[in-house]
Amino acid sequence: MQYIGLVVGFILLVKCADWFVDGSSNLAAAMGVPTLVIGLTVVSFGTSAPEAAVSISASLVGQNDIAVGNAMGSNICNLLLVLGASAVFYPLKADKKVLLKDYMFSILAALVLIFVTADVFLADGVGALLHRIREGETESGPVSYITRSEGLVMLAFIIAYVYSLVLGVLDRETAVAERQTFRWRYLLLIAVGITGIMVGGDLVVDSSVKIAASFGVSTQLVALTIVAVGTSLPELVTSVVAARKHETDIALGNAIGSNLFNIFFILGSAAAVSPLRLTVLAFTDILVMTVLLLVVLMLAWRGSVISRGNGIFMLLLYAAYLFYVVMR
C-alpha cells in the first residue's frame, strides 16, 4: 500500500507543479509583478507547505530531530538537488542584485541559526566540537535550544523580508512594462496546483517514512534524507518544470525563498510552539548547510549563471552529502 501511495504522490507532484508554474507566471505577467518576486513568495512559500506541516507537527509532539533535521535537510536539498537538477535542464540566470540581496538573506538566516546555538556548542572551542564529532559523541554531548523568544525574532525576520519585497513591487521601476490580460483560470491553476502539490508531498512523505521504518532506520537519518527529500519534492518538481519552461526566475526564486521560509518561518514557528532542542549533530548540519550556501554562491557569482556543468557538480555534491549522512 505504501508503494502505491508513493507512485500516486509522484504523479500528483509532477502534474500539479506544471499547473502551478503556468498559473504563477501568467498571474505575475497579468499583475505587472516580476516573476522572480512570485518565485520568492507565492511559489516558494506554497511549495514549502509540506516542510511547515511536518516540522510544526513534530515540534508539537516533541520530535525535535524531525523538526530540525527536516528543515536543514530540505535546505541542503534545495541548494544542491533542486538548483542542480534545474540547471541541468536549463542554465539558471543568477542576477547579481538577486545574489546580493535575496541570496545574502539566506546566508543571514544560516548565521542567525549559528548565533543562537554556538554559545553552547563552541563554549569549549572548535577543537572540542571536532573531537566530539570524530568520536561520535553527537547525541550524548551538550545540547542547545532555540527558545520561544528566539523563534519570534526569526518570524520577525521573514516578515521584514516579505515587506521589503512588497516595497520593491510597489516601485514602478520593477513593474513589468506590458501586462497580459488577467484570467480567473490563473488563480484556479495556482489553487489546484498547490493543493495537488501538498497532497502529493504528504503521500510521498508518509509512504517513504513507513517504508523506511520497516527497515529500522533512525529518526535523524530519516529526517535528513527521506523526509527532507520528500518534503522538498514540490520545490524540486516545480523548479525543474519552471526551468524546462525557461522560467528561470521562478526556479531560482523558489529555491531561495524556500530556504528562507524553512529557517525563519518553519523553525521560528516550531520554536514558538515549543522550544527546539538541538544536539551536536544538528549543529553540524547547520554548519554544513552554511558552507554549502557559500559554495553555491561562488558557483552562481561567476558569470551570473548556474550552468549545466555547475548543476552536475551540485548533484554530485548532494550525493556525497547523502553518503556522509548515511555513514556517520
Instruction: List, in order, residues 6 or more apart from 322 with CB less than 8 Å away.
Output: 225
26 CB neighbour count, 10 Å cutoff: 21
Q: What is the pLDDT along the chain (328 residues), one digit of tens a residue?
A: 777 887 888 788 778 877 887 887 787 778 777 766 777 777 777 667 677 777 777 777 677 777 788 889 889 999 999 999 999 999 998 888 888 888 999 999 999 999 988 888 877 777 777 777 776 666 666 788 899 999 999 999 998 988 887 776 655 444 444 566 778 888 898 889 888 887 887 787 777 777 777 777 766 677 678 777 877 777 788 888 888 888 877 788 878 888 888 899 889 988 998 888 888 888 889 999 999 999 999 999 988 899 999 999 999 999 999 998 888 7
Phi/psi at 255 (5° precision): -70, -45
Tell me, what DSSP letter sits at residue 265? I
**CB-hemisphere CA count at 13 Å for 127?**
0
131 CB neighbour count, 10 Å cutoff: 13
CA 117 to mean position of chain CA atoms? 20
The whole-model pTM stands at: 0.80
With H, G, I as helix, E, B as strand and everything else as coil, classify residue 97.
helix
pLDDT at 245: 85
- How far apart are the C-alpha atoms of 46 and 258, rounded to whole Å? 9
- How far apart are the C-alpha atoms of 58 and 67, rounded to whole Å? 5
Q: Kindly write down the DSSP assignment for every residue of 167-203, as one continuous string.
A: HHHHSGGGS-SSPPPP-HHHHHHHHHHHHHHHHHHHH
What phi-psi label fits residue 205: left (phi over 0), alpha (psi between -120 and 50 degrees) or beta? alpha
Structural domains of the chain ordered from first start:
2-327 (1.20.1420.30)
164 CB neighbour count, 10 Å cutoff: 12
- How far apart are the C-alpha atoms of 6 and 9, rounded to whole Å? 5
- How far apart are the C-alpha atoms of 242 and 86, rounded to whole Å? 8
Instruction: List, in order, residues 6 or more apart from 169 with CB less than 8 Å away.
Output: 33, 34, 37, 175
Instruction: List, in order, residues 6 or more apart from 48 with CB less than 8 Å away.
Output: 74, 234, 235, 257, 258, 261, 262, 265, 266
With H, G, I as helix, E, B as strand and everything else as coil, classify residue 181.
coil
- How far apart are the C-alpha atoms of 103 and 296, rounded to whole Å? 10
- How far apart are the C-alpha atoms of 222 and 210, rounded to whole Å? 10
pLDDT at 286: 93
Please give the single-letter amino acid code of residue 143: V
pLDDT at 137: 62
